[in-house]
Amino acid sequence: MRKVFVAVATLAILFAVGATYAVSQLHRYLDTPAAPTGDTAFKIEAGASFGSVATRLESLGVINHSNWLRAYARWTDEAGRIHAGDYLIKTGSTPREILQQFVSGAVQLYSFTIIEGWNRWDLLNALHADPNLQASLTDEDWPAFLDELDAGTNHPEGLFLPETYRFPLASTDRDVLRQAFALQQQALAEEWAARSEAAIVDTPYEALILASIIEKETARADERQRISGVFTRRLQKRMRLQTDPTVIYGIGRDFNGNLTRKDLQTPTPYNTYTMHGLPPTPIAMPGRDAIRAALHPADGEELYFVATGLGDGSHKFSVTKEQHDAAVAEYLRRLRSNRAGGR
């Protein structure tokens, strides 16, 4: 009887030692990167079993001994909790990290950037050209989509913050736009709360209108508030804004790149040469800096500005009409000289 007891005890000890060793080896496997293969794009199809996923990982050289990972995933009940999607497995990832990536659904993200100054057509064209986004929105769909967002307008310009947005594969253009709308609402609310007493606009939406014009007039950070100051003083004095970008926007997609005297004299809701005040809606997507400039106009007496033609996007600012006319003449001379030099 004693011999039997000793034998059983010995077997139990050997089993415990073996189990401890096996567990130790398993954890060493789970926390050791496989042979480096470089970053690996990996797709898990909806409904795929973890066994098939582990086998493919081994065939790609991402992991070794896939049966160990399968056993661990079943033991922890994580095999049935992986998410379908596109993943980017980084070089040096361990089997444990890869499994957690699948369980958490940390799929590969793509990016889309909205550029300051884009209008609705620029935005839609870029969204539809992105191979990682599904196109679902047309120009005719804007009113219904904006109603879904509770935007309070059926006009998309001004409502989407120029920024870079991240999204998983199979996202739609609407998914990106929902992000951009929410961020623009947040940015506008914050800038409106911090606005200067000198701001001429009465509502946040008017701030977007003015900001969109500033955005189209200059890309220079050192000029935004100065241009805002010019527009603010002109509005205070009941002077027409007389800004070309609003006229061009009013012409729409028929604009051929050549702004004529007839265009400046043809009334539209956006022709600030023929109408007083701000146009009825924004004309582009203004960035946060342009919104801040609209709400913090620079002090001064300048009422006019015109491009310098120096090639750096700068403008010449003037207080009087006579000074402005001289600046315009200088710009035209420089333009003619540049054209002649390019022959």
C-alpha to C-alpha distance for 112 and 167, rounded to whole angstroms: 8
Residue among 35, 29, 169 nearest 99 (CA): 29
The model carries a pTM of: 0.83
Residue among 113, 175, 120, 114 nearest 149 (CA): 175
Q: What is the pLDDT of residue 17?
A: 41
Q: Are residues 136 and 78 in contact, defined by beta-carbon separation less than 8 angstroms?
A: no
Please list the pLDDT of the chain residue by residue as tens digits (343 residues): 554 444 444 444 434 444 455 567 888 999 988 766 678 889 999 899 999 999 999 999 899 999 999 999 999 999 999 999 899 999 989 999 999 999 999 999 999 999 999 999 999 999 999 999 999 999 999 999 999 999 999 999 999 999 999 999 889 999 999 999 999 999 999 999 999 999 999 999 999 999 999 999 999 999 999 999 999 999 999 999 999 999 999 999 889 989 999 999 999 999 999 999 999 999 999 999 999 999 999 999 999 999 999 999 999 999 999 999 999 999 999 988 877 765 5
How far, CA to CA in Å, does 328 sit from each of 157, 237, 301?
A: 30, 22, 18
105 CB neighbour count, 10 Å cutoff: 14
C-alpha to C-alpha distance for 1 and 126, rounded to whole angstroms: 84
Q: Are residues 167 and 175 in contact, defined by beta-carbon separation less than 8 angstroms?
A: yes
Question: Tell me, what DSSP letter sits at residue 303?
Answer: -
Domains of the chain plus CATH, in order, are: 33-107 (3.30.1490.480), 110-189 (no CATH), 199-341 (no CATH)
Q: What is the pLDDT of residue 39?
A: 87
Q: Are residues 159 and 291 in contact, defined by beta-carbon separation less than 8 angstroms?
A: no
Q: What is the pLDDT of residue 5?
A: 43
C-alpha to C-alpha distance for 112 and 164, rounded to whole angstroms: 6
Q: Which two tokens stand for residue 70?
A: 């399968």
